[in-house]
Structure 1
Amino acid sequence: MDRTTELIATLAVIAAGAILGRASWRGVRLDVTAVLLLGAGAAQLGITLSPTLGLFGLLLFLYAIGVQAGPALRRLGGDERRAALAAAGALVVLSAVTLAAAHAAGLPTGVGLGVLAGLFTSGASLALAEAGWPASEVSVGFALAAPVASLLVMLAVQGWHRAAEPRIADELARWNEEMSRRAPRIETALAQVTRAEVAGRTLRELRLPAEVAAIFREGRWLAPRGATALSAGDILRLAGSREALDRTIAMVGRRTHERPHRLAGEPVVRLFFVSSPRAVGRRIEALRLRERFDATITRVRRSGIELMPRAGLRLLWGDRVQVSAPESAMDELRRLFGDDAHNLERFAFPRAALVIVAGGLLGLAPVPLAGGAVVRLGPATGVLAASLLTAALHRTGPLIWSQTHRTTALLAQIGLPLFLAEVGNRAWGGLVQALPTWGLPLLVPAAAGVGAGIALAALVGRALRLGPLATLSLFASLLLNTPAFQLIQQRHREKIPSAIYAAV
């Protein structure tokens, strides 16, 4: 098949897989695994999918995963560190169980090592195994385990999720309650000053519970300062918890939904990443934003948690702060905080391409081993390592490595189906050739590995007193099954899945 036909066939498999993956049976769906199965079906019909697109999809997907999980490496909590240590021991046990199952099934050691590499979809493990055992045996085990284990893990994750759904809901309720207690959800509202006892008093005197981001008076917007006195009829743009908003509105007058039309001088809102040494580690009041820029911080988001932008709050690296200020002050604020999140999307793909190229070169670099042997990480492992490290750094000099959530989600949605379609298509030929030789015992080590992963995740979760969602995330992470992890993350946007994946 020529490249054009391969491209069209690949896109057709992805489109059909998206439709099939949405079909549900008793609450269980194939999701992106349907693309893998249809890729294998295309191979049975003699249709070859594009290997170049498959590799591109893999690298793009691993880059997106690394960018999402990288920032969590800088702030792993005690639970995540304990999970990482426990996972290291569990990976050793999991590998031993898989190899023992292959031996018990009468399979050659090379096939067992290939199954182990396929269980984790690890190109580095595959290369290392092929250096010491017959490549034909290793590739057969990998070709079988990669699609079979991926399918079993995806089905196990969905079945586990469905069975534990009530307990997951309780876990998330406790999590959200704890997060709300630490940092109430930030909301916005408009209030009109109608109370006579408030008119003429300054914001410093009133000490309002909510943050005043801007004041609309006589057809123009004013930047609030401590010495700003309120007047009857002023419209205040407020930000804070629901309780703070209700108390502030009751103090000044009434809530209004009549938003003034946008006029010249109205403050604009921008989101910044805190990455500059001028802002990292400093308290909000020490930045003197109102005095210097007529600016007000309305929100601070840290590790997925919204914090109240009160005096005394110290900004940390990686915080996302939402600032209301005049348009003319935005360049100075960008220099103060570090980066404008809105501008990150303008160069999102060139930034991704740079990291993928660096990761690919890292994967090609030879790593010497004892006895003179040499192994290479491979482009997939290299890209994942590069994206994790660069995302944790956030920036190097003028180069910014972070991506917005919208960008990483889009890259992952493009990359994963491309990769799975080609994996299924490529693995089918090797599987058909291997079945007459070794038969159904080929399935034993792959199934044993997945079963051991479930048992080990449950044991570690119980030992560390993890909730069902954290334990489920640990299972997907133990097997390094990024499609299954992505499925969990899509359903639950809380911090739990990303923190566990980054730790493991």
Structure 2
Amino acid sequence: MIELLSGNVILTIFLVIALGTAFGSIPFGPIRFGAAGALFVGLIVGAFVDLNDPILTFLQDLGLGIFVYMVGLEAGETFFRDLKAQLGMMLASVVAVTVGAVVAVGAGGLLNISREVAVGVFSGALTSTPSLALAQEQTGSEIPAVGYSIGYPTGVVVAILLVAVTIGRTWKAKKDQENEDEKILHPVTIAVEVDEVDMAQLDEKYGDQFVVSTLRHHGRARVAEDEVPLERGDVVGIMATRAVTDDLVAAIGRRVAARPLIDEKVTVQHFTVSNKDIAGNQVGNLALPGAFGARITRVRRADEIFLANDDTYLAYGDIVEVVLPAKRQREVNSYFGDSIQSFAELDWIAVAGGLAIGFLFALIQIPLPGGSSFALGAAAGPLIAGLILGALQRTGKTAWQLPRSANYTLRQLGLMMFLAAVGTASGPAFASTAFSLQGLTAILLAVLVSIAGCGTFLLLAALLGKSATRANGGVSGMLGQPAVLQYALENSSDSRIMSGYTATFAVALIFKIVIIPFLLV
């Protein structure tokens, strides 16, 4: 079997992915390693199988690039919007990396570990391949790679264990609370019992938590217009969050038990967005009200359901709830496309074109003091491209956002390819040193560095008033580690995980590289 796999990279990688997936699903108490199973199986297989290193490097870069590009696409819209609010998380990641670096040098000296190996352990425990590359360039030696090969899997395991312990915690997060009632949407029918309803004031106060959908005026039901004039005696249908329903009822009139606003003239239908001219556009830019007298009230994107307002972007595969005149149903259906097959067919300009831009960014050299420099690489280039394109949503006729299901599939493919290739490539060095005295002390150092770095960040995030989910996303970003991010996502569907990841990734990536020359002094 070993002879069959030796030299056959593709066969080996997919075998590692399959076995790693099976291993990752095995529970060890409350913990499952998930996607990281491919890394551990790869370390075992790589210790016995002789493979072509350049091909493994290619697969690492390709897999990592696909993964971070897809993450960037999904997070781009919120990343730039929340940039100011995430400044504290960014600074916390810099402090945490500094603490990890100090522990690597200080504890490494106490354990009689050479500075080159200690710096390699630092790079591995905080999973920074660009840091390793610069350390090797600065020392002119392959010795840092020995520490890296031990520190990398150790850092992944420790980080996953920390996430497992903290992801479900509900520590005080005064500045990062989510009201669950703001996520629960339901229709409410209100009879107008005041002489004058100030809808502009209600919209300013609760605008992102309700949408007026239908109106019964003088006995006739119709789709509500953008500016709804309400009179005493009208009955209005609203889609609202549970958090604001009582306030809306109190401001307008009284709740009506039935929902008498849908009849043979007005209907509510669901359509799938597959029209390329719609995807990537904001709801306020669509021709629905003027052309069809229709209104979007809710959007379902994968497992997430949210209210639609004029600023909401639509993506391929979104399922939109539309209130419309019954006689216009066929026209509206044609307008959205409503074809599952159409949106399932990937727009390869968005996929390949975006990745090409990302790998072009990867070539950019960042200068460092002393005349050295580092490239953004496959970890940062495609992520930056994804963030920018995800925020742009659309350029000309190209909608950059992919259907959420396609994004997840490609993300998983890239992640598993990356982890299997990294594990297999690191297998020989790990096997030759991990069980020696030097290897055991290096493992201990990697544990200390990982706990110091990740623990410091979690503590600072808690002190900053951030939630456990955002803090764990921030740890994943500080490490730049897909396996840790995926583990967090597998244990929580909170969107703050992705927000935390994108907030810390770029800053920590650059700082982990910049600090290397100082560690080698």
TM-score normalised by the chain length of structure 2: 0.71
CA contact (8 A) 1:214 1:267 kept: no
Q: What's the counterpart of residue 184 of structure 2? A: 185
CA change 1:125–1:8 in 2 (3 A) is same
SS in 2 for 1:25: coil
Alignment map for 1:101-250 (pairs within 5 Å): 101-161=107-167, 165=168, 167=170, 175-177=177-179, 180=181, 183=182, 185-187=184-186, 211-212=212-213, 239-241=239-241
Alignment map for 1:345-424 (pairs within 5 Å): 345-424=344-423
CA contact (8 A) 1:59 1:379 kept: yes
CA change 1:290–1:373 in 2 (3 A) is closer
Q: What's the counterpart of residue 43 of structure 1? A: 46
SS in 2 for 1:87: helix
CA contact (8 A) 2:473 2:501 kept: yes
| Alignment match of 2:23 (pick from 15, 20, 24) | 20
- 1:455-485 Cα offsets, whole Å, 9 max, x none, are 3124302421233333333333332223212
Report the CA distance between 1:224 and its aligned residue: 6.5
SS in 2 for 1:489: helix
Q: What's the counterpart of residue 444 of structure 2? A: 444
Report the CA distance between 1:346 and its aligned residue: 3.1
Q: What's the counterpart of residue 36 of structure 2? A: 33
Q: What's the counterpart of residue 481 of structure 1? A: 481
Distance 1:372 1:143 in 2: 28
- 1:148-181 Cα offsets, whole Å, 9 max, x none, are 21122112222334xxx3637x979x9442x53x
Distance 1:420 1:259 in 2: 55
1:72 maps to a residue whose letter is T
Give the unaligned 5+ runs of structure 1.
Answer: 196-203, 216-220, 228-235, 281-286, 310-314, 335-339
Q: CA RMSD in A?
A: 4.7
- 1:355-404 Cα offsets, whole Å, 9 max, x none, are 22222232234444455434323233322222222223323333332233
SS in 1 for 2:362: helix
Q: What's the counterpart of residue 432 of structure 2? A: 433
SS in 2 for 1:43: helix
- 1:202-240 Cα offsets, whole Å, 9 max, x none, are xx9xxxx9744699xxxxx9867789xxxxxxxx99844
| 1:269 is the counterpart of 2:268 | no
CA contact (8 A) 1:21 1:34 kept: yes
SS in 2 for 1:157: helix
1:269 maps to a residue whose letter is F
CA contact (8 A) 2:280 2:400 kept: no
1:147 maps to a residue whose letter is P
| 1:294 is the counterpart of 2:300 | no
Q: What's the counterpart of residue 204 of structure 2? A: none
CA change 1:214–1:65 in 2 (3 A) is same
Q: What's the counterpart of residue 11 of structure 2? A: 8
CA contact (8 A) 2:6 2:51 kept: no
CA contact (8 A) 1:110 1:133 kept: yes
CA change 1:468–1:293 in 2 (3 A) is same
CA change 1:86–1:372 in 2 (3 A) is closer
CA contact (8 A) 1:98 1:445 kept: yes
CA change 1:213–1:494 in 2 (3 A) is farther
Report the CA distance between 1:133 and its aligned residue: 0.8
The count of aligned residue pairs is: 453
Q: What's the counterpart of residue 464 of structure 2? A: 464
Q: After superposing the two structures, state which structure 1 stretch, 64-73 or 365-374, moved more.
A: 365-374
CA change 1:3–1:392 in 2 (3 A) is farther
CA change 1:57–1:188 in 2 (3 A) is farther
Give the unaligned 5+ runs of structure 2.
Answer: 192-198, 200-209, 230-235, 505-521
Distance 2:287 2:37 in 1: 55
CA contact (8 A) 1:140 1:434 kept: yes
CA contact (8 A) 1:184 1:307 kept: no
SS in 1 for 2:379: helix
CA contact (8 A) 1:171 1:469 kept: no
CA contact (8 A) 2:6 2:50 kept: no
CA change 1:413–1:364 in 2 (3 A) is same
CA contact (8 A) 2:122 2:148 kept: yes
SS in 2 for 1:269: strand
CA contact (8 A) 2:96 2:456 kept: yes
1:113 maps to a residue whose letter is V
| 1:56 is the counterpart of 2:62 | yes
Distance 1:85 1:431 in 2: 33
Distance 1:267 1:441 in 2: 64
1:90 maps to a residue whose letter is A
SS in 1 for 2:296: strand
Distance 2:281 2:159 in 1: 38
User: What percent identity do the matched residue pairs reach?
Assistant: 22
Distance 1:23 1:137 in 2: 35
Alignment map for 1:302-313 (pairs within 5 Å): 306-307=306-307
Q: What's the counterpart of residue 232 of structure 1? A: none
Report the CA distance between 1:423 and its aligned residue: 1.4
CA contact (8 A) 1:213 1:298 kept: no
CA change 1:15–1:439 in 2 (3 A) is closer
Q: After superposing the two structures, state which structure 1 stretch, 422-431 or 83-92, moved more.
A: 83-92
SS in 1 for 2:170: helix
1:35 maps to a residue whose letter is A
Report the CA distance between 1:450 and its aligned residue: 0.8
Distance 1:223 1:4 in 2: 66
Distance 2:404 2:60 in 1: 23
Distance 2:40 2:438 in 1: 22
SS in 2 for 1:121: coil
Distance 1:186 1:407 in 2: 26
CA contact (8 A) 2:280 2:393 kept: no
Report the CA distance between 1:31 and its aligned residue: 1.7
Distance 1:452 1:45 in 2: 33
CA contact (8 A) 2:280 2:394 kept: no
CA contact (8 A) 1:363 1:377 kept: yes
TM-score normalised by the chain length of structure 1: 0.73
CA change 1:390–1:117 in 2 (3 A) is farther
Report the CA distance between 1:488 and its aligned residue: 1.4
Distance 2:148 2:458 in 1: 26
Distance 1:407 1:214 in 2: 38
Report the CA distance between 1:296 and its aligned residue: 0.8
